[in-house]
Amino acid sequence: MPELRRRVRRSRVPDAVAPNQQPADKNQRKSNGKAVAVGVTERPRTRLAARRLKEEDKVILQENLKDSDKKKGKEVVVEEEEEEKEVMAIGNDSGGSNKAAAQEEEGNTAPFPERVQVGGSPLYKVERKLGKGGFGQVFVGRRISGGNDRSAGASILEVALKFEHRSSKGCNYGPPHEWQVYNTLGGSHGVPRVHFKGRQGDYYIMVMDILGPSLWDIWNTSGQAMSSEMVACIAVESLSILEKMHAKGYVHGDVKPENFLLGQPSTSQEKKLFLVDLGLATKWREGGGNGQHVEYDQRPDMFRGTVRYASAHAHLGRTASRRDDLESLAYTLIFLHRGRLPWQGYQGDNKSFLVCKKKMATSPDMLCCFCPAPFKQFLEIVVNMKFDEEPNYGKLVSLFQELLGENPAIRPINTEGAQKIIFQVGQKRGRLSIGEEEEDAPRKKVRLGVPATQWISIYNARQPMKQRYHYNVADSRLAQHIERGTADGLLISCVSSCSNLWALIMDAGTGFTNQVYELSPVFLHKEWIMEQWEKNYYISSIAGATNGSSLVVMSKVRLGVPATQWISIYNARQPMKQRYHYNVADSRLAQHIERGIADGLLISCVSSCSNLWALIMDAGTGFTNQVYELSPVFLHKEWIMEQWEKNYYISSIAGATNGSSLVVMSKGTQYSQQSYKVSDSFPFKWINKKWREGFHVTSMATAGSRWGVVMSRNSGYSEQVVELDFLYPSEGVHRRWDGGYRITSTAATTDQAALILSIPRRRLADETQETLRTSQFPSTHVKEKWGKNLYLASLSYGRTVS
| Secondary structure, 3-state, 435-492 | HHHCCCCCCCCCCCCCCCCCCCCCCCCCCCCCEEEEEEECHHHHHHHHHHHHHCCCEE
Identify whether the C-beta of residue 694 lies closer than 8 Å to the C-beta of residue 713: yes
Q: Is 680 a catalytic residue?
A: no
Which one, of 306, 318, 319, lies nearest residue 355 by Cα? 306
How far apart CA 331 and CA 257 sit, in angstroms, is 10
β-partners of residue 12 are: none
Helix axes 416-424, 228-247, angle to 10 degrees: 80
Q: How many CA atoms lie within 13 A of 148 on its CB side?
A: 9
Nearest residue to 29 via CA among 317, 336, 264: 264
Asked if residue 162 belongs to a known ligand binding site, the reply is yes
Terminal Cα-to-Cα distance of the chain (whole angstroms): 22
Put the strands of the sheet holding 550-557 in their side by side order: 512-520, 550-557, 538-544
**How far is the C-alpha of 556 from the C-alpha of 564, rounded, in Å?**
16
Q: How far is CA 305 from CA 178, 288, 482, in A?
A: 15, 25, 48
Q: Whole-angstrom Cα distance, residue 728 to residue 743?
A: 13
Report the distance separating Cα 228 and Cα 371, nearest Å.
8
- The count of other CB atoms within 10 Å of the CB of residue 119 is 16
Query: What gap in Å lies between CA 90 and CA 134, rounded to an integer?
Result: 9
Rg (CA), the chain: 31
Of the residues 254, 507, 618, 725, only one is catalytic, namely 254
Q: Are 165 and 110 in contact (CB under 8 A)?
A: yes
* Type of residue numbered 394: G
Phi, psi angles (nearest 5°) of residue 432: -70, -15
3-state helix, strand, coil in the chain (%, to 5): 25, 30, 45
* Spatial contact of 401 and 428, defined as CB atoms under 8 Å apart: yes
DSSP letters spanning 320-377:
P-HHHHHHHHHHHHHHHHHS--TTTT--STTHHHHHHHHHHHS-HHHHTTTS-HHHHH
Q: Which residues are catalytic?
A: 254
Give the residue ranges of the annotated binding site: 162
Give the residue ranges of the annotated binding site for ATP: 162
